[in-house]
Amino acid sequence: MIFGDQADTRQAVRRFLHAGGTVTLVLDGPLPDYPDRIDTVRYALRPALSDTAGLLRLIGPAWLIVDVGLPGGFRDRVRELAGHLHVLIVSEDPAPSEGSVTLVGGGPGSTTLLTLEACAALRQADAVLYDRLAATEDLTELAAGAELVDVGKTPYHHPVVQASIEDQLISRARRRESVVRLKGGDPFVLGRGGEEMLACVQAGVAVRVVPGISSALSVPAACGIPVTHRGVSKAFTVISGHVPPEPHELAALVGLNATIVILMGITNLDQIMAGLSRAGLPPGTPAAVIERGFSDNQRSTMTTAAELAATARRLEISSPAVVVIGDVVALAPAVPPASAEVVDAFAPWFTTPEVRAS
């Protein structure tokens, strides 16, 4: 049984319905018109504070009472009667009265790596627009009752164009919905989160950002590669491989003598590695590709810069994958693999096989 205004209780009602509960919504008059009602919800008018018999009849059959913004005097009376009847009562904050957009970083794909703030935003969402690489395995529970909208893209295939995503965010927020835009990694690391933020700002829609764990850092760590290490590398650069870098950019990367992390780079890996070689990257530089980081079928491939592109073709490496180039890759064998498959051993500094199911 949920006490509160219809708009204030909308998120609580959805969560309990999603959990399979039988919900009675008690309103301080008038009851909504039938087209505005949820078919599976029973609606009741809140009795007067002095109507003890009416309150007892209402409360008596309930096993749980949810207080969503009851006035102080009425809250005290309901709590008193619920105590006499041994009915559990809890309080929840009302749903936001104004629409907003929250850009949430979902991390590298596992819901166990969502931040507490990300989980709180999902719990309060009316709608979640999620990406292909976002953490979605438990999304129906994390955003119980929310409308889930798949707006994901695959490489070079965008069923829902970016402008449409931004329009959906804005239009839903203007309808007073709490909208979560759930993105893989961190919204502001090669995730177009900045574009979505600016679109909301320009439209006058309230927007906030919940940072996430970027795959540029977490996926290498999943197989034991630190992107920096004292005495080995004191800097790292993250680049997008969606469009191959220009020659002067590649020269700058090589000249920095730091770890290079490439996201979205599998399709253009041949061109990128050839360009790095022309820019002076030593052919024996350790290199790795980690596919499907933090999933049950994560695979780590270790080789050299000279062999990386050919190895990726031979092993049919595919997206999503993170490429790491630099001496830090040679530190990975310090972490023993859960299981291993021998393919070739053409990276002599490794004591474990080239390809690992990690």
Residues acting as catalytic residues: 131, 153, 264
Half-sphere exposure of residue 161: CA atoms within 13 angstroms, side-chain side: 2
How far, in Å, CA of 247 to CA of 236, rounded? 19
| Cβ neighbours of 353 (radius 10 Å) | 18
How far, in Å, CA of 194 to CA of 103, rounded? 10
3-state secondary structure 102-164: EEEECECCCHHHCCHHHHHHHHCCCEEEECCCCCCCCHHHHCCCCEEEECCCECCECCCCHHH
> DSSP states of 58-100 as a string?
HHTT-SEEEESS--HHHHHHHHHHHHHHT-EEEE-PPPPSS-E
Phi, psi of 255 (to 5 degrees): -65, -25
Residue with tokens 């819901």: 111
Dihedral angle sign, alpha carbons of residues 256, 257, 263, 267: positive
